[in-house]
Amino acid sequence: MKHSVRIALGVLSVIAVYVAPLAGAAEGELLVDGTDYGGQSGCIDLGPNAPRKFKNNSDRTVTIYMNDHCVGAASGILAARGSGTYTGSSMLRS
């Protein structure tokens, strides 16, 4: 019994090592007014609230917010591989 538990824990720890990096990194470029935000994920502050051109060549959805720090109502949602112009001062790449 103890041997089976050790094997199961070992297998789970190996899986976690390989899966964890995949969960955090976004694949593909995300261009906002020509600036590439690369593989960044999470909330990204963009500066003053303004209309911006987004080109999402990544595998993640981007939500654009009028307020800093990705709070309040979303002003736009950009699907993976999409593009458009949205007004906002922060974005959440999830």
pLDDT tens digit sequence for 23-77: 445 578 999 999 999 878 899 999 999 999 999 999 899 999 999 999 999 999 9
61's tokens: 């959805």
Residue 80 near residue 59 (C-beta atoms within 8 A): yes
21's tokens: 């990096």
- The whole model's pTM is what? 0.70
Domains and CATH numbers, the chain: 2-93 (2.60.20)
Q: What is the pLDDT of residue 22?
A: 40
Which residues have a Cβ under 8 Å from the Cβ of 55 and sit 6 or more positions away? 29, 30, 31, 83
